[in-house]
Every structure is written in structure tokens, then in C-alpha cells.
Amino acid sequence: MDLTGRTALVTGSNRGIGRAIAEALAARPLALLLCGTRDPDGYPPLTPPAGGAREVRPVALDLASRESIDRSVDGLGDAEIDVVVNNAGVMTGGLLEEQDVDEIYAAVQVNLAAVMHLTRLLLPGMLARGRGKVVNNASISGYAYFPAASTYAATKAGVVAFTESLRRETKGTGVTTLHLVTPGVDTEMLDATDEVYGGHFDTSGWDRQQPAEWAAKVLAAIEDDSSILGPGGKTAIAKLASRGPAFLLDRIADSMFTRTPRG
């Protein structure tokens, strides 16, 4: 997609990967970049470089409930959104019997229900204009179902399924989709993995890309109309193994997981 003169919206754009994608989009000649955040007043300033987006506007976008999403989209007014990047997410993990049920529901809401709901609200405009792109931030967890990540993996597998189904459904309409098989990216979420996995899963050997490096790949995938952005690096091996017989991922999982937390 040629981003010249287009309008893009990024959810969870105040920090982490969403912030890096927003910064990369701001460097493109967009007409308008809408930076979704729960706190627009506290949004860290984002000034587009020369030749970049004509306008960058933080907008209130809270994905925590059905009502907050409806309210947020009403607040966007009549902006004609060409690209939506469903990026915001939360991580859950640890042994299932120890996970907080409220946190499981919150993760299903933000990671999966909100992606479907927001896309459902923006899609009619895209279809009417005959152009649009839906970019969904999944994860390697949407492919490789490791222990101690059951609930998070389920939400991300849902994102992959949703995006791929929608890709086929919108064929020939001018609307396209892209899902990101995001590997380890150096953000607060990745920093929290040890704590969230409760010491059951050793993530120390994982790839750790910088957000800007990953965002540059995301922008290239948007611009060349890829439908999937693979993780690259060592993580690509886990993705490949996930499509083969289960014993391949079992071997990898066995080397990283213990039911008794590591010391």
C-alpha cells in the first residue's frame, strides 16, 4: 500500500512496539496519524520528520470493554481510516491453575475481542472506499503453543485465525490484511516475561529485537502488501516446528519448561 495521503490508526501506541510503529508511520507522507492511547493528555510528543505525516493526533482508545471501544470509535469522528494497526495487548502466563481469572478475561478482551470489534467497526468504511489494510499484532505464541503461555497463546492463535479468515473474505475488495508473527521485542512486556511465567519457562535464550528494528519490518510489510510478517532469527525455527509433528515443539518446550519453578 502506498501510504501517501492516507490515514492510519495504531492502538497501544504510547509505548513499546506500538510506539515504534507509530514513529515509523509518522515518517511516511500520511495525511493523518491517529495515535491510540488510553491517556491522550499524557501522550509522549511525536513530531513527524520533514516529509512525514501532515498531522499526528493522539486519540483516546481504551480497549478494555465493549462499551469503551464503542465510545472510543465514536470519538474518532468522521476520520476515514485506511490502515488500522491492532497492536495493543497484555500478557498472561504461568501454570493455568495459578492464573488470575480476571486477568484471563482481560487478555481475551484486549488481545482478541477488541481486535475483532475495532476491525468490525472500521471495515465498512474501508469497503465503501475500496481500500484499507488491517494489521494485527499476533505473536510467535499464535503459532508455537508453549507451556506456561496457554491463555496468551490462545488469544494470539485467535488473532491469526481471525486475520487469515478475514484475508480470504475480503479478497478482491481492496481491503487487505497483515498479521505479525512478532518475536521477542525489547519492551516492558518482554521484561515482564520471567515474572509472568512464574519461573516455569526459561526465556533467556529468546531473540530480542529492538522495537524500531521490528517496526521497520512492519512498515515494509505494509508497503509491499505482505499478508504475514514472519519472526526471523531463531524464532523462525519455532514457527517452522509449529507446523510439523507435535514432537518437534515438545522437544523445544521440554528444554525450557519446568513445572517446579526454577530458582
Ligand X SMILES: NC(=O)c1ccc[n+]([C@@H]2O[C@H](COP(=O)([O-])OP(=O)(O)OC[C@H]3O[C@@H](n4cnc5c(N)ncnc54)[C@H](OP(=O)(O)O)[C@@H]3O)[C@@H](O)[C@H]2O)c1
List residues with catalytic annotation: 152
C-alpha count within 13 angstroms, C-beta hemisphere, residue 239:
20
Please tell me the total number of residues recorded for the chain in this structure: 263
Query: Binding of ligand X at residue 63 (CB under 6 A)?
Result: yes
Cell numbers at residue 163, please?
A: 486475520
Question: Based on CB atoms, which residue is closest to ligand X, 48 or 211?
Answer: 211
Q: What one-character-per-residue DSSP string does 166-216 give?
A: HHHHTTTTTEEEEEE----BSSHHHHTHHHHTTTSB--TTS--B-HHHHHH
User: 7-10 and 175-180 as β-strands: parallel, antiparallel, unpaired?
Assistant: unpaired
Let me know: does 34 contact 9? Beta carbons within 8 Å. Answer: yes
14 binds ligand X (CB under 6 A): yes
- Of these, 7, 18, 59, 94, which contacts ligand X (CB under 6 A)? 18
* Nearest distance, CB of residue 50 and ligand X, angstroms: 27
Q: Of the two residues 127 and 202, which places its CB atom closer to ligand X in the complex?
A: 202
Q: Is 17 in the site for ligand X (CB under 6 A)?
A: yes
- Rounded least distance, CB 176 to ligand X, Å: 20
Measured on CA atoms in the order 62, 66, 72, 73, is the torsion positive or negative?
positive
Which part of the chain contacts ligand X (CB under 6 A), choosing from 77-85, 88-96, 218-226, 250-258?
Answer: 88-96
Using the minimum distance from each CB to ligand X, give the nearer residue, 29 or 198.
198
Q: Which is nearer to ligand X, 51 or 66 (CB)?
A: 66
Residues 129-148 interacting with ligand X (rule: CB under 6 A):
137, 139
The β-bridge partners of 33 are: 8, 56
Q: Are 11 and 61 in contact (CB under 8 A)?
A: yes
Question: Residue type at 229?
Answer: L
Tell me the window of 24-32, 85-93, 161-169, 216-224 that interacts with ligand X (CB under 6 A).
85-93
| 187 interacts with ligand X by CB under 6 A | yes
Residue whose CB is less far from ligand X, 131 or 194: 194
Q: What crossing angle do the helices spanning 211-223 and 16-26 adopt, rounded to 10°?
A: 50
184 binds ligand X (CB under 6 A): yes
Residue 24 engages ligand X in binding (rule: CB under 6 A)? no
Q: Where are the alpha helices (DSSP H) in 57-149?
A: 66-74, 101-107, 114-129
Q: How far is the CB of 138 from ligand X (least distance, A)?
A: 7
Q: Which residue intervals of 75-149 are DSSP H helices? A: 101-107, 114-129
87 near ligand X, rule: CB under 6 A: yes
**Judged by CB, which is closer to ligand X: 2, or 188?**
188
Give the count of alpha carbons within 13 A of 261, CB side only.
Answer: 11
CB of 86 to ligand X, least distance (A): 8
Segment 109-128, which members bind ligand X (CB under 6 A)? 110
Q: Are strands 83-86 and 32-37 parallel, antiparallel or unpaired?
A: unpaired
Interface contacts to ligand X, rule CB under 6 A = 11-12, 14-18, 38, 61-64, 87-90, 110, 137, 139, 182, 184-185, 187-190
